[in-house]
Structure 1
Amino acid sequence: MAKPKPGEMLHLRGNSLAKGEPVAPPLTQSSMFHLPGAPDGQYSYGRVDNPTWQHLEHVLSHLEDAPCLSFPSGMAAVSAALFATLKAGARLLIPSDGYYVTRLLADRFLSNLGVSVTERPTTAYAEGGFEAFDVVFVESPSNPGLDMIDLAAVAKQVRAAGGMTIADNTTLTPLGQRPLDLGIDVVVSSDTKAMGGHSDMLMGHVASRNTHVMERVEEWRRVSGAIPGPHEAWLLHRGLETLDVRYDRMCNSALVLAERLAGHPAIKRIRYPGLPDDPSHELAKAQTARFGFLLSLTLDSEDKAEAFINTCALLRPATSFGGVHSSAERRARWGDDVDPGFVRLSVGCEPVEELWHAIKTSLNAL
């Protein structure tokens, strides 16, 4: 797989600057542009294009090694990819154990527009084949269970059956996994998470090497109005400049914590692809560059899970993940089909020994 070059990414803008231009990209906060006469491909209107988006999308395209378009949230990116590839009568396969809002979108809206929706668990995704589906949507690792699926095999089988694949790569980012290089047609991501990294904005993106798909995605963004704010695009651009450093710290710390948590008596079950006995370990070794920063923990009860989360000084009890602050939440509260004591733990950028001490202290007090 081609590896992104974060050092080159940091200088994408700088290497094209003229003397006296700002190194940091300017924030263009304008709904109108000076446009006498015919448009002639110039910036025209804030719903159509914006220079700050283009600075951001230049960096995203470098990371994905593919054309990218930015969106105001991860779900806006998911929606754009699905509406660009589906039509009435189409058949969609989605994971039953993936992000629950994607399932809500399919069940409450796409199905009402004539799309036939089927769900399968990640671990049995290939059972029954893919011949019946126009679009196959995958998550690997799944959110929140962290089960994995062979993306290259799925992409090959779906393409042979005449379908198209979309992969949500939020949990691993382009630095940890490269679905497009594995044959996936379209990648979506919630850049609210690790890509932005500071829990201060919502953003997402769609990437694909399929020109027709990207034309449809751009049209969807333009006519639906699902556009990113210039300030949010500027913040994501700034966040991406430290992604390599943050992601490396988070993944390294996650492996250390997973190894230690696996032996703690308060933990009934742990999932982390980096652990040698994890069901996803061998596939993760072959398919990913990093094992990620998410851990799944199961404690004895809902009360113990809540006590662990709410008493740990270095864990923020919050939904979402991927920020510089470590965070955790009991996913059953959102309706995920998990044990009441199931906790999704997102490892942040705190010094690992300090973080381990805080986590261990909270677990020992249960």
Structure 2
Amino acid sequence: MSLDPDWGDGTRCVHAGETAPSKGSPLTPGPVLAAPFHLADARPDTDAGLAEEADFYGRAGNPTWRRLESAIGELDGGECVLFPSGMAAISALLRDASGRGALVLPSDGYYATRAFAESELVPRGVTVRAVPTAGPWDDDVFDGAALVLLETPSNPGLDVCDIAELSARAHTAGAVVAVDNTTASPLGQRPLALGADVVVASDAKALSGHSDLLLGHVSTADAALARRLREARTLGGAIPGPFEAWLAYRSLSTLDLRLARQAENAAALTAALRDHPAVRGLRWPGSAGDAAHETARRQMRRFGGVLSFELADEATFSRFVAASRLVVEATSFGGVHSTVDRRARWGDPVAPGFVRFSSGCEDAADLVADVLAALDSCVR
């Protein structure tokens, strides 16, 4: 069943990836856990085309993957290729582009993307240019580039760049534009509709939202690129597990509800923390006073649940976590539990007390009260 473009986000999430109902079949089918599939109907003269006509081996395809790919693709507005993690997705994309020119990466985006490029691609002669999300984006950045990867809002600093403007400039120079949409999610931002060629994301975060699986995906309107990525997935063996895909598909129906509560909590926390003496450098793109707000307001459909701020130092961060009853320390985001991560421990170029705060789905009043009490204990 195709989604009606006039449907709201909640309806789209509940019905994305659905097939026509069949009497006696499950409303939500379970995962297909299979490595080999029956070949009883295959004939010797048709075996060569079997991979395109039917499932034959689990490394090449699985109906549970395809259900989730259909759902995510409908939300992204492109053809989705599923991977076992966000890094598997983004590394496949970078490898695909690396033979055709320079790669432009965000200098303030997810650190592992830069680490992958520096450890695997640069030694093979690939030119990698790093640019801050907020710029400056000089024209020579695009010269000879095969792929420009944007990450907006950036992780962890939450800076924002203009997808439409940078896509137009990159296309003029002959480059493909990809957007890491992990922080925003398909409901928060639709990069393909803004002019980008590719969306890539870690689906361990908000999309699946329960902190219990690893998945990633690439979505694109370029059928040739999607085909190359599927071939690379099959030959490289970077395949998602069907159970994880099933869990993510089951979780997708509540994405609208979860994002709404998380954004509500982020807004409440931003308002409460703005003048707190323990907090400085507070960022959330949804705040009217944020440096990225005007650009974010133009291109984002909702602002998400991730905010960031700085505490005095690592010791203050530790006291804050110990004093909180609701917030736990973890290095992912987008889940139903509120979490914090001191990003300097992973080598991000941030201050020792920098905090990435992922708002969960707790009641806003309870979460704000808990965070304020924990912060108050840090300044007594």
- The TM-score bracket by the shorter chain reads over 0.9
Distance verdict in 2 for CA 1:22–1:258, change over 3 Å: same
- Per-residue CA deviations over 1:159-186 (Å, capped at 9, x if unaligned) read 0101111110000101001111111111
Alpha-carbon shift at residue 9 of structure 1 (Å)? 3.9
Report deviation, 1:12.
Answer: 4.6
Q: Aligned equivalents of 1:12 and 1:240: distance in 2?
A: 8
RMSD: 1.5
Matched, 1:162 2:166: no
Q: CA deviation at 1:187?
A: 0.5
Describe the superposition over 1:270-320 as per-residue Cα deviations: whole angstroms up to 9, x where unpaired.
011111121101111111011111111111222112211232111111101
Q: Which residue in the other structure is 1:7 paired with?
A: 11
Supply the distance in 2 between the matched residues of 1:219 and 1:196 (Cα, whole angstroms). Answer: 25
1:211 corresponds to 2:223: yes
Contact 2:146/2:174 (CA < 8 Å) preserved in 1? yes
2:25 aligned partner, one-letter code: E
Identify the match of residue 195 of structure 1 among 186, 196, 207: 207
Q: State how far apart, in whole Å, the 2-side matches of 1:13 and 1:203 are.
A: 17
Distance 1:97 1:128 in 2: 19
Deviation at residue 125 of structure 1 after TM alignment: 4.5
Counterpart of 1:346, as a letter, is S
Residue 132 of structure 2: aligned partner: 121
Give the ranges of 4+ consecutive aligned residues of structure 1 lying more than 6 Å apart after TM superposition.
none
- TM-score, normalising length: structure 2: 0.93
Matched with 2:121 is 110
Q: Is residue 2:101 matched to residue 1:90? A: yes
Q: Gapped runs of 5+ residues in structure 2?
A: none
Residue identity matched to 1:45: Y
- CA deviation digits over 1:29-63, x for unaligned, max 9? 11000013334311010000001111111111111
Query: Which 5+ residue runs of structure 1 have no aligned equivalent?
Result: none
Indicate yes or no: 2:35 matched with 1:31: yes
Instruction: Give the aligned residue type for 1:23.
Output: L
Q: How does 1:58-97 map to 2 (within 5 A)?
A: 58-87=70-99, 90-97=101-108
Q: Is the 8 A contact 1:318 1:328 kept in 2?
A: yes
Percent sequence identity over matched residues?
A: 44
Relative to structure 1, the CA distance from residue 28 to residue 125 in structure 2 (aligned partners, 3 Å threshold; closer, same or farther) is: farther
Deviations 1:183-233 (A, max 9, x none): 111100100000110000000110000111111111111111100001100
Any residues of structure 2 matched to 1:275-354 within 5 Å, and which?
275-354=287-366
Residue 258 in structure 1 maps to residue 270 in structure 2: yes
Give the 3 Å change call, closer, same or farther, for CA 9–144 of structure 1 in structure 2.
closer
Q: How many residues align?
A: 364
**Counterpart residue type for residue 105 of structure 2:** I
SS in 1 for 2:282: strand
Aligned to 2:130, the other structure's residue is in SS state strand
Aligned to 1:234: 246
| Correspondence for 2:377 | 365
Letter in 1 for 2:171: R
User: Is contact 2:17-2:68 (8 Å) kept?
Assistant: no
